[in-house]
Structures are given as structure tokens and as C-alpha cells.
């Protein structure tokens, strides 16, 4: 028979191994014969909540991010504002632009993971992280630092054309160059550029 103490130890171990999991409640019910039942979905009022436990992994993709346009996103925006401002100053970026890219990329979720393997606030791919010396893509400071440096280089490469720099951040600089220094004709990139510029205008 499982005991609450054993469950708690098991769950604590899982939480340590997988810190990015969602939480739910666990309920206990003892019937008239003394049988003990545990569930996260109680079906009658006889169940009593005993613990909170990790229930399911949350993997993030561009279509599944922390809620945008809500207090939750705004809370995280404020939380990382000092890091964003510092990186913007270091790499001569408009802080509003860096905020706009982060909002579009991850909605300020430092644990965001896309289905292509991009990670963190600025959604860095492994090769981009390596290129800019980012060792831990989940670390907000390192992630913002690497993404800001990359964005700054793109702005320089495209002669301060923010629209092209943002397009290159999404599709890669080679694709922007390939299409004659224009936003590539990819629906995802065109929508991304429009979204970032919209946020940029709002943050300014």
C-alpha cells in the first residue's frame, strides 16, 4: 500500500529532477473497509486534499507560451526589466525593442522551449548560444545577454533597419540577404516582424 510519506518523497524527487512541471492537488479517500485511495481527480466529497504534486510536464512552443496580454506576463516583464535594461545599454539597443522581441519570443517565460529547440526568454538555438558564449540557455541573464548581442549585431549588419534585423532574428540573416535585404516571404517571419513592431510601438 502506498503511504503519503512515500508519495511525498517520490514527488519531491521528481520535482528536483524536473523543476518545470505543472502542479495539481492529490486527494486521499478511505472507504468503510479501510481501503485507501489516492487521486488527482476526486469524484465525490469524501476525498480530502493531502498534498500538491507535479502532474505533467509543460513543454513550450511558439503556440503554447505563458499567457500574453495578462498580469502574469506583465509581472514577468517587471521581474526581468533590470536585466533587459542592462543588456540594452551594453549593446546600444533601445530597451523597448529588446522588450518587444522577448515578448514575441517567449512572453517573458525563461523556461520556454519551442518545438525547434529554441530555449528561454529570447529563444536561443544551441548554435546561437554557443556563438555568443551562453552556457545555460535557461539562465535569464545569460539568455538576455546572448540574444541582445545577436540582435545588436543584426542591427549593425542591416544598417539600423530594425525591421530587417527583427526578420533576421527570426529567419536568420542569410535568408534576409538571400531575398535582397527584404523580409523573407515566410508567413511565420512576416507575422513575427509585425508582432514585434507592434509591441515595440506599444512599449515606446
Rounded Cα distance between 148 and 95, Å, is 10
188 is catalytic: no
| Residue in 193, 195, 189, 204 with CA at minimum distance from that of residue 93 | 204
Of the candidates 136, 135, 77, the one whose C-alpha atom is nearest the C-alpha of residue 104 is 77
Residue 73 grid cell: 506576463
Dist. CA 182–CA 192, nearest whole Å? 14
Residue partners of 162: CB distance under 8 A and separation at least 6: 97, 155, 197, 200
Please give the grid coordinates belonging to residue 112: 520556454
8 A C-beta contact, residue 162 and residue 170: no
C-alpha 115/C-alpha 63 separation (Å) is: 9
Q: Catalytic pick from 105, 127, 142, 188?
A: 105
In whole angstroms, give the CA distance from residue 116 to residue 62.
Answer: 9
Query: Strand, helix or coil at 113?
Result: strand
Which residues are marked as active site? Answer: 105
Amino acid at each position: 500500500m502506498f503511504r503519503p510519506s512515500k508519495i511525498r518523497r517520490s514527488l519531491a524527487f521528481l520535482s528536483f529532477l524536473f523543476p518545470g512541471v505543472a502542479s495539481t492537488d492529490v486527494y486521499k479517500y478511505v472507504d468503510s473497509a479501510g481501503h485507501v485511495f489516492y487521486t488527482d481527480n476526486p469524484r465525490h466529497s469524501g476525498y480530502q486534499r493531502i498534498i500538491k504534486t507535479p502532474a505533467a510536464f509543460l513543454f513550450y512552443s511558439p503556440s503554447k507560451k505563458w499567457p500574453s496580454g495578462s498580469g502574469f506576463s506583465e509581472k514577468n516583464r517587471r521581474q526581468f526589466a533590470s536585466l533587459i535594461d542592462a543588456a540594452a545599454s551594453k549593446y546600444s539597443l533601445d530597451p523597448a525593442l529588446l522588450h518587444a522581441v522577448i515578448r514575441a519570443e517567449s512572453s517573458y517565460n525563461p523556461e520556454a522551449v519551442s518545438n525547434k529547440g529554441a530555449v528561454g526568454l529570447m529563444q536561443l538555438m544551441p548554435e546561437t548560444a554557443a556563438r555568443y558564449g551562453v552556457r545555460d540557455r535557461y539562465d535569464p541573464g545569460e539568455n538576455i545577454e546572448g540574444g541582445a548581442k545577436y540582435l545588436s549585431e543584426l542591427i549593425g549588419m542591416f544598417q539600423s533597419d530594425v525591421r530587417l534585423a527583427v526578420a533576421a532574428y527570426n529567419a536568420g540573416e542569410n535568408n534576409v540577404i538571400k531575398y535582397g535585404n527584404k523580409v523573407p516571404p515566410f508567413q511565420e517571419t512576416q507575422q513575427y516582424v509585425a508582432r514585434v513592431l507592434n509591441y515595440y510601438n506599444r512599449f515606446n
